[in-house]
Structure 1
């Protein structure tokens, strides 16, 4: 059934990346309704770093395998599974149990509290996977379940993004760069705010209409660049006081998607700015499986190429986490 005797995985037995350790276990067997996936690539999210360091607000049971995103091949299926068969290329869904519509109360994320993906073999419920894009490598496809779907859900699924609109994007991480690519795909202009000059240059090369320095008066610049109107959509990946400044840059009837908490978990800003702009402020918890399937079709149809900052071999997971912590332009991927 499988192509190896043992499954290899990375786990923590105590909190902190210094406790990441490699382990070998027998390859698991799929039970009823499950699939066994041979992992070819797993991408890292900042959330994985926070959970590993026990800084996420949720304490995982130990030992714990981090990681929520994978791309791989189905090796075997359990009883009753008709959705997949051996040899199918798949990617994971981030929110297990959320198929469409409103998120059910019993849905949960992979990589905490659901199973982690930094392993050579992973058991998934057959409903927790979708067909991988035909146009992407495994490393590229592994970047989609969390970062790409978050940007897609904010802009295309919930935001009804359309040509001619303006998207304000904070940073140059995975969600931000997918937001830039999806904005261009829909004929919208993207304005990127970043603290690093070299990353601003790269964002311009990717097609950003404008790039602004983090320490500048970027809310005023956004209004000037849009003829006083402001941004129709904001991907707010910083949080804290930055959210209040994003409200100042928002157009009438604009949508601000709260995605990240790099500057703190508190929402700080002026209610007057929210009232003035008739703002819709929405928290994002990635998205459902149907939206992921829609996004995969759009990626294939438009030949979108995810930005992979670096690929690390499966014996270099500590180095991959260090790269993630120091800030990456795009996604950090581990190959198995």
Structure 2
């Protein structure tokens, strides 16, 4: 042990190749990292496997780290050390955290994160909800903020039964904005109906495209949130009223977006992309400050992340397989330090 009471080394999952193979994610013994100025060291209690993590390990995400690297874009745990005097105020506190994209991630027993990317957790927020504090909640908030600022009076979204989709549904309900929810299975439609969704369209049913178009035209839908890409982007674009916008924030289909050029030429449709990293990158204005005030109040209440499984680092192969199999069923979490944080 070091004089600070921390171990010298830790267990971590290291990615050795961007090929998506289970054997390319290896349990490794690494030195416990030391926080620098403005940073803290977090003993990780929980770290989720998000779609962005699944893309990262396959080399398909917008960030690529030099290998070997520890994945994991977000997590939660207790701050156990600080690299500067100001950071000592967080020592002993439970936080949700996001490490810098250039540093090792949260799929480890310990992780270093900037103070500004650590949010103290309220007692009512458990480790799993705290570990899912950033990626989905802030994305949902930022997407809905675009709907507010654009004064859109009705919305449509794909992958509506996903965790982020359910968060968008909750926000739309709070804003009293009609939202058309696209799903692909009957049980997903039933799930959303129980959550109060009024407009649900199943993409696996006959005449899906026409049903979607009619519903969106009736409601005057002018903004679409697309997590799927592929042909779905074109379905959403065609359904929008003239001048509408599709915002693509995911690529679950792993296909290129397909939209007929007539949507742009004759109907004034627009296609945009959204990446949460860009929402916070290089600027910290009123939108970011409002998000930092609003989101913590929503997490664990309106923003609830369903938990499907909690697994140790040793079960990485099984964890990734479960996480990729059915995202509607809930999120899979690593618990690097067992049940104690």
Bin the TM-score by the shorter chain.
Answer: 0.7 to 0.9
Report the CA distance shift for 1:166/1:56 in structure 2 as closer, same or farther (over 3 A): same
1:276 is displaced (CA, Å) by 5.8
Partner of 1:28: 33
Partner of 1:89: 94
**What is the TM-score with the length of structure 2 in the denominator?**
0.81
Contact 1:232-1:250 within 8 A present in 2 as well: yes
For 1:2 and 1:199, how far apart are their aligned partners in 2?
A: 48
For 1:261 and 1:14, how far apart are their aligned partners in 2?
A: 21
Aligned mate of 1:284, from 256, 274, 277:
274
Partner of 2:250: 260
**What is the TM-score with the length of structure 1 in the denominator?**
0.82
Partner of 1:102: none
Structure 1: state its 5+ residue gaps. Answer: 97-109
SS of the residue corresponding to residue 293 of structure 1 reads: helix
Larger fraction in helix: 2
- The size of the alignment, in residue pairs, is 319
Structure 2: state its 5+ residue gaps. Answer: 281-287, 337-341
For 2:193 and 2:314, how far apart are their aligned partners in 1?
A: 34
Partner of 2:157: 169
Aligned mate of 1:179, from 168, 177, 200:
168
Partner of 2:81: 76
For 1:294 and 1:30, how far apart are their aligned partners in 2?
A: 26
1:153 is displaced (CA, Å) by 0.9
SS of the residue corresponding to residue 139 of structure 2 reads: helix
Task: Say whether residues 1:122 and 2:122 are aligned partners.
Answer: no
Larger fraction in strand: 1
Tell me the C-alpha RMSD between the 2 structures.
3.0
For 1:312 and 1:230, how far apart are their aligned partners in 2?
A: 45
Contact 1:250-1:277 within 8 A present in 2 as well: no
What does the per-residue CA deviation read over 1:84-127, in whole Å, with 9 as the maximum and x for residues that have no partner?
Answer: 42122222247x5xxxxxxxxxxxxx3xx442110111011222
Aligned mate of 1:45, from 43, 50, 56:
50
For 1:52 and 1:164, how far apart are their aligned partners in 2?
A: 36
Report the CA distance shift for 1:280/1:91 in structure 2 as closer, same or farther (over 3 A): farther
Contact 1:162-1:187 within 8 A present in 2 as well: no
1:322 is displaced (CA, Å) by 0.5
| 1:107-256 → structure 2 map (5 Å cutoff) | 110=101, 113-156=102-145, 158-160=146-148, 165-171=153-159, 172-216=161-205, 217-225=207-215, 228-256=218-246
1:277 is displaced (CA, Å) by 5.5
Report the CA distance shift for 1:325/1:119 in structure 2 as closer, same or farther (over 3 A): same
Report the CA distance shift for 1:237/1:271 in structure 2 as closer, same or farther (over 3 A): same
For 2:88 and 2:143, how far apart are their aligned partners in 1?
A: 28
Higher mean displacement: 251-260 or 116-125: 251-260
